[in-house]
Structure 1
Amino acid sequence: MARALPPERAHFTAFRTLPTRWADNDAYGHMNNATYFSLFDTAISLWQMEQGILVDGPEAARFLVVENGCTYFTEVGFPDILQAGLRLTHLGTTSFRIDVALFRNGADTAAALGFFAQVHVDTSGRPTALPEAVRAVLSGLMI
């Protein structure tokens, strides 16, 4: 199977700058795998909050992550400055998928590409339709 090429910055619609920290490095001197997912989650959450989607508190929309993944292309680590690029790759009735690419120190080619697939649920944990306001905001991430 041929390995996918890393995506380019032009394939993403929104960006957030995320500095790395000394503690993000593992014993090999590059960023720990778990840190990538933390950065993906942070970039998505910050974007949602900036768009008016509450992520915390009693009025917050409840999104459960049902699938995630990451493809690594180039090592990153402290003291790199990362730009997280976001794009929407799926918008369903109750679910959506956001891809997050990490661009290292202003590079145009991604060092890593991750995704989070999320389902909107009610207070009992059952899937429920995405509110129209949320759908409209998410649509803004489409390429």
Structure 2
Amino acid sequence: MAPVPDHPFVTEVPTRWLDNDQFGHVNNAVHYQVMDTVINDWLQAQGFDPAGDVVDLVPESGCRYHAEISYPDRFVVALSVARLGRTSVTWSLELSRASDGVAVATGHVVHVFVERATRTPVPIGGSLRAAMTSIARSEQA
């Protein structure tokens, strides 16, 4: 899979039979699950431990739907960092159908990194910040 402009990380996520709703397409709520999965898979691949002392909370998310997708098609998900702050990151995602490349949805998710016990925001640093910078949109790099 080739990078999508402004989204340097691209992966595929299969749809499942149970994702289809009574209208014969993947239910809108599944799009959020796909975005969450891609972001958290990417974070864990960078060494982030979701069971550790620091967790990532979601204070904001959004999704705009452009076209339907149905099982057994696959989502192609392009991910980038739209904004990297001191303790938060805004992810940008584009979801398309693998079968024909048609854009299905665009979304964003904001993560704030906090101490698990106190919920106090903590700076994003070290290798995780470097990894996020590596997939930042050109205006963020």
Smaller-chain TM-score range? 0.7 to 0.9
Which 5+ residue runs of structure 2 have no aligned equivalent?
A: none
Determine the C-alpha separation between the residues in 2 that align with 1:29 and 1:43: 24
Deviations 1:90-124 (A, max 9, x none): 10111111111112015455210111101011120
8 Å contact from structure 2 (residues 82, 92) kept in 1: yes
Matching of residues 55-70 of structure 1 within 5 Å? 55=50, 57=51, 59=52, 61-70=54-63
Determine the C-alpha separation between the residues in 2 that align with 1:109 and 1:60: 40
Query: Which amino acid counterpart does residue 53 of structure 1 have in structure 2?
Result: F
Shift in Å, 1:89 = 0.3
Determine the C-alpha separation between the residues in 2 that align with 1:109 and 1:51: 29
Which one of 88, 91, 98 corresponds to residue 105 of structure 1? 98
Determine the C-alpha separation between the residues in 2 that align with 1:26 and 1:135: 38
Higher strand fraction (1 or 2): 2
SS of the equivalent of 2:72 reads coil
Which one of 113, 117, 120 corresponds to residue 113 of structure 2? 120
Which one of 130, 134, 137 corresponds to residue 140 of structure 1? 134
TM-score (structure 2 length as normaliser): 0.87
- Closer, same or farther: CA 70–27 of 1 in aligned 2, 3 Å: same
Shift in Å, 1:130 = 1.4
TM-score (structure 1 length as normaliser): 0.86
How many pairs does the alignment contain?
134
Which one of 18, 24, 35 corresponds to residue 23 of structure 1? 18
Query: Which amino acid counterpart does residue 34 of structure 1 have in structure 2?
Result: A
Which 5+ residue runs of structure 1 have no aligned equivalent?
A: 1-7
SS of the equivalent of 1:29 reads coil
Percent of paired sites with the same residue: 31
